[in-house]
């Protein structure tokens, strides 16, 4: 039975609070190295594992113990985590240690304690930084033919430096060996090597699309009237993201032709990237490697002058939207009805 979105969200909520407990020893694990916490911190239990806050007695750092009853599930996740570390993929969860409990036989994976990624009312330059880190992680995993498959706000957290960290690798998938396409035969050894080095768009594109839904939620304050508020819904459908992608392109085209007042250049770049990430055609959807070259991701900090959250929202309130006198004009967008 797969975890529901609500279960994953609840687990993320609990994990974001784990740093609040006191580090008083209750009992020990792994021959005394990891001291379990007591106090008001509850365990976080999903269908596949239990997450337990603890302290590494050798380094005095806060950690999370992930107890997994199924040895098959634990071995599979260990294989993925070791592959990520071997490939030195940035901005992904780091495995610190692993062991098997003597009494229960359960496998335990040890991870650093993370916190919730701050995404409310953030400046656009911070959105760009998060997007670059997300693209670096995606480019790293896709380069080793690995897809995350469950990217959401609940599977993205932050480390002590407030850098993005992608978590939850138990359902990640490696690409299978692909048969040659008879309609497009490979004729040279160079083409064969290139084909073997990258997975097909149909394998990696869903990760990009899911990441686009997250980027859209970060960008909602900067792109009013573009229906981005729907991206946070659990009932969001492909038709909704297609509508948003096309709407963004229409707005950008209208601005280029002088029919609408242009957005700030950095905001226009953000809208362009988002439209490419939500592109419904997987064959032409932007890749993680291409994301890292996009103007929104490579822009310098000075390119974001005037786009800090407070200043940008005040500017929108002053000029109004679609000719309206107040920012309340953002409500004048078509309603999208989503059915489960």
CATH of the domain at 312: 1.10.510.10
Output the pLDDT for position 202: 87
pLDDT of residue 180: 46
Task: Look at residue 237 and tell me if it is in a domain.
Answer: yes
Are 324 and 175 part of one and the same domain?
A: yes
Global confidence as pTM: 0.81
- Which pair of tokens denotes residue 304? 């974001």
Q: How far apart are CA 296 and CA 140, in angstroms?
A: 19
Which of 88, 113, 138 finishes a domain? 113
* Domain count across the chain: 2
What's residue 37's pLDDT? 77
The conformation of residue 53, written as its DSSP 8-state character, comes to E
Half-sphere exposure for 24 (CA within 13 Å, toward CB): 6
pLDDT recorded at residue 48: 86
Q: What is the pLDDT of residue 44?
A: 85
Q: 102 is in which domain, residue-wise?
A: 8-16+28-113
Query: What totals of helices (H) and strands (E) does the chain contain, helices first?
Result: 10, 12
**What per-residue confidence (pLDDT) applies to 318?**
75
> What's the pLDDT at 231?
94
Positions in the chain whose pLDDT score sits under 70: 1-31, 38-42, 177-198, 319-340
Together in a domain, 133 and 148: yes
Amino acid 30: pLDDT: 56
Q: Given this model, what pLDDT does residue 46 score? A: 83
Asked whether residue 219 falls in the same domain as residue 325, the answer is: yes
The predicted structure's pLDDT at residue 323? 42
Residue 43's CB: how many other CB atoms inside 10 A?
Answer: 12
For the chain, the first-to-last Cα distance in angstroms comes to 20
Give yes or no: residues 73 and 137 share one domain.
no
């Amino acid at each position: 039975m797969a975890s529901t979105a609500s279960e994953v969200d609840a687990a993320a909520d609990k994990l974001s609070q784990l740093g609040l407990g006191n580090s008083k020893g209750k009992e020990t694990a792994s021959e005394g190295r990891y001291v379990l916490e007591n106090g008001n911190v509850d365990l976080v239990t999903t269908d596949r594992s239990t997450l337990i806050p603890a302290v590494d007695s050798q380094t005095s750092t806060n950690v999370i113990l992930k107890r997994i009853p199924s040895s098959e599930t634990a071995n599979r996740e260990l294989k993925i985590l070791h592959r990520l570390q071997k490939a030195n993929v940035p901005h992904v969860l780091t495995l610190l240690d692993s062991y098997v409990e003597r009494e229960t036989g359960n496998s335990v994976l040890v991870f650093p304690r993370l916190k919730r990624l701050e995404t409310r009312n953030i400046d656009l330059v911070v959105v760009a930084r998060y997007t670059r880190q997300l693209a670096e992680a995606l480019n790293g995993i896709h380069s080793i033919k690995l897809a995350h498959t469950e990217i959401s706000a609940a599977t993205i957290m932050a480390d002590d430096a407030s850098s993005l960290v992608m978590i939850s690798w138990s359902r990640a998938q490696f690409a299978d060996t692909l048969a040659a396409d008879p309609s497009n035969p490979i004729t040279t050894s160079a083409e064969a090597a290139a084909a073997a080095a990258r997975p097909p768009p149909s394998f990696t594109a869903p990760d990009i699309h899911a990441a686009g839904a997250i980027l859209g939620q970060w960008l909602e304050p900067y792109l009013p009237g573009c229906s981005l508020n729907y991206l946070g819904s659990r009932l969001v459908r492909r038709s909704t993201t297609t509508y948003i992608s096309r709407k963004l392109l229409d707005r950008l085209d209208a601005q280029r032709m002088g029919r609408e007042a242009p957005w700030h250049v950095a905001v226009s770049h953000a809208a362009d990237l988002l439209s490419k990430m939500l592109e419904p055609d997987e064959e032409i959807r932007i890749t993680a490697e291409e994301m890292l070259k996009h103007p929104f991701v490579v822009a310098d900090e000075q390119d974001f002058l005037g786009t800090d959250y407070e200043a940008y929202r005040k500017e929108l309130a002053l000029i109004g939207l679609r000719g309206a006198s107040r920012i309340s004009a953002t409500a004048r967008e078509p309603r999208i009805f989503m059915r489960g």
